[in-house]
Amino acid sequence: MTQKMSKFKSLKKTTKVDFATYLGVIVVFAAVSALQSGGSLTRSAIGLLVPICCYMSMAVSLNLTVGILGELSLGHAGFMSVGAFTGIVVSQSLLDSVTSAPVRLAIAMVVGAIFAAIVGLLIGTPVLRLQGDYLAIVTLAFGEIIKELINCLIIGHDENGLHFIFNPAGNKTVDDLGLSATGTAIIKGAQGATGTATIATFTAGFILVMITLIVVLNLTRSRAGRAIMAIRDNRIAAQAIGLNLTKYKLMAFVTSAALAGAAGALYGLNYSSLQATKFNFNLSILILVFVVLGGLGNIWGSLIAAAALTILPEALRQFADFRMLIYAIVLIFVMLATNNPQAKAFFQRLLPHRRASAEKED
Amino acid sequence: MTQKQRERAKLVPVSREPALLTERDADKSPVLECIDLGITFGGLKAVDNFNVTIGRTEITGLIGPNGAGKTTVFNLLTKVYQPTHGTILLNGKDIHDLNTAQVNRAGIARTFQNIRLFGDMSVEQNITVAMDTQMHYTMPEGIFRLPRFWKEERAMHERAMELLSIFHMEDLANAKASSLPYGAQRRLEILRALATNPSLLLLDEPAAGMNPSETAELMENICFIRDTFKIAVLLIEHDMNLVMNICEGIAVLNFGHVIAKGTPEDIQNNPEVIEAYLGKKKEA
């Protein structure tokens, strides 16, 4: 009986954390929505809402690759840009046929996710045969390649459908698309996408974060998630129990890319003008920082880190020149506090109830 | 395989006493046959002319001095290394073209000399992940928690608990695998191997680091596992007490060659084995 009780209690532990994560996101969404409709948020704060949701989703999806699968990927921004520009093209070309903005947004995000997943599959199939540093370097390169390829794209839309030009030499312009009089150019090469109808909303961002959470958390708690973690913990033993390494690694990588694509589509439709250079190596690193800071494999940690590190630079605007310095110092301190055993012990002394729960775990 | 080869490869002599288990039928349908198995690393023959046959429900031992090539044999059987010559027949089928994961699905499960658990996962997860190839629900079914997810997860949970009860480890189901004491980690690794439904279980030094009472319990458990699951066990072990007491057939390996095969009594009295372990007596 007592055995059953303890089994029941600890079985619920991961479920409890998951539900607390969902609940936390819902509560924060409700609170922020209330503040927004009450008019107590500044314009700059409102402008941050959708990007924060996108970054949260990016961080959680990257955590699937880095924290759960245990492979360092430095090209996550590449998948985001695929989703972003696919989403923009879909949304702009459906401007007349689908008049409802939320429906158009949903279609754009789904198509963005599918395209990012396809690119993820194409990249992942050869790349996941590598390990460790090599995989990191190759994903970094692919992220840059995707960025450069999108920089060469000219896409327009008229009543005959979509028109593409791939322009690596940089000698062609929108005029070469051969659009009819009613046609519009959507992506103009290095100029990026301009004149996009901004249909992204905070509610859509909230739904995106929730879907990302459900997909990642439920995947982690299913047989695929166990297999993925087993591969992370011990590759040789994972093979010895009959797991198909390539299949499960690809599953994690492609899911992660698809979610990044959906986040990218939302992000892209939040700005009337967007260049591919936005999705550079720095953005991949920024998202990796969210993941590492929040804790590898720790989903709610990624959410908080993404939100905090997006708000922090804005909040520090008054310190002008010292802004990035303070940002770096905060980063270092949080890293120390979460990863240093002595610092951990110090914080546990400060928080008696956490000490008790930590001892129970041992 | 010719009859002559079979005779040569037979680990347990045909003239053995009546088997302990009535369903024992080692000679008619062996679970594993190795024919002239060998591997060369550069110019070094790590294992050469390894001929061993293991019956369907036999407990067999592979012994020999350090560096004799015992673990290499395990790595050949599980295809961690591709043999450079010879054939491995598992349940009568050649496993030449299979990789490590496929060999496991075909029926060979193993433990490791240096424990390889999934350290950050719970004890129960370590076992259920090994049942992955027996589960059928797809990734979307897992994400959307459809009925098949719940049905299979519940069934796997129950089976994991059943397996854990063999070693009385039910209480530890939710503990982190890396937090277990050494002996419990070794036992968990055996359970994880069992969870893959093998027909042949390879144990690499299962009693290493265990005290005598733990070893005695382990011996009982290995016999229990064989009797319950009706599988064959091949174990590498340095604890002669364990080997001589539970193994029905023993092969002795030295410098990559099988120098003796037979029952525990044969092995104990074999001068070549004594020489391999203790060295040659100086001529007086």
- The residues spanned by each domain of chain B are 1-107+198-284, 118-196
B258 and B50 Cβ atoms separated by less than 8 Å: yes
Question: What is the C-alpha radius of gyration for chain B, rounded to an integer number of angstroms?
Answer: 20
Q: In the numeric block, which tokens belong to residue B243?
A: 């080997």
CB neighbour list of residue B38: distance below 8 Å, 6 or more residues apart: B45, B47, B48, B49, B50, B83, B84, B85, B86, B256
Minimum CA–CA partner of B125 in chain A = A226
Q: CATH number of B1-107+198-284: 3.40.640.10, 3.40.50.300, 3.30.390.10, 3.20.10.10?
A: 3.40.50.300
Q: Measured between beta carbons, which residues in chain B are less than 8 angstroms from residue A223?
A: 128-129, 132, 135, 137, 142, 152-153
- For A3-46, give the DSSP string: HHHHHHHHHHHHHHHHHHHHHHHHHHHHHHHHHHHHT-S-HHHH
Measured between CA atoms, how close is A201 to chain B, in angstroms?
A: 25
List, in sequence order, every beta strand (DSSP E) within B126-221: 200-204
Minimum CA–CA partner of B113 in chain A = A237
Closest by Cβ to A227, choosing from B116, B132, B193: B132
List, in sequence order, every beta strand (DSSP E) within A143-277: 153-158, 161-166, 184-188
Measured between CA atoms, how close is B78 to chain A, in angstroms?
A: 8
State residue A158's pLDDT score: 86
pLDDT in tens for each of the 362 residues of chain A?
455 555 445 555 788 888 999 999 999 999 999 999 988 888 888 999 999 999 999 999 999 999 999 999 999 999 999 999 999 999 999 988 888 999 999 999 999 999 999 999 999 999 888 877 888 899 999 999 999 999 999 999 888 888 888 888 878 888 888 888 888 889 888 888 988 899 999 999 999 999 999 999 999 999 999 999 999 999 999 999 999 999 999 999 999 999 999 999 999 999 999 999 999 999 999 999 999 888 888 899 999 999 998 998 888 877 767 777 877 887 788 777 776 777 667 766 766 554 444 444 44
Nearest 10 degrees: Cα torsion A315, A320, A322, A323: 30
For residue B34, the SS3 value is strand
Contact B173 A227 (CB under 8 A): no
State residue B106's pLDDT score: 95
Q: Is B196 exposed, middle or buried (0-12, 13-18, 19+ CB in 10 A)?
A: buried
What φ, ψ does residue B258 adopt, rounded to 5°? -80, 115
Measured between CA atoms, how close is A361 to chain B, in angstroms?
A: 8
> What is the C-alpha to C-alpha distance for residues A81 and A250, in angstroms, rounded to an integer?
20
Please calculate the CA angle B33-B38-B40 and round it to the nearest 5 degrees: 160
Q: Which residues of chain B have pLDDT under 50?
A: 1, 12-27
**A341 CB within 8 Å of a chain B CB:** no
Contact A10 B130 (CB under 8 A): no
Which of B132, B163, B164, B186 would you mutate first to test chain A, the one with the most A CBs within 10 A?
B132
Minimum CA–CA partner of A230 in chain B = B118
Measured between CA atoms, how close is A360 to chain B, in angstroms?
A: 11
Minimum CA–CA partner of A224 in chain B = B139
Minimum CA–CA partner of B78 in chain A = A240
- B140-174 pLDDT, tens per residue? 999 999 999 999 999 999 999 999 999 999 999 99
Measured between CA atoms, how close is B49 to chain A, in angstroms?
A: 25
B79-93 exposure pattern, b = at least 16 Cβ within 10 A, e = fewer: bbbebeebebbbbee
Q: In the numeric block, which tokens belong to residue B164?
A: 């854990």
- B87-104 pLDDT, tens per residue? 999 998 999 999 999 999
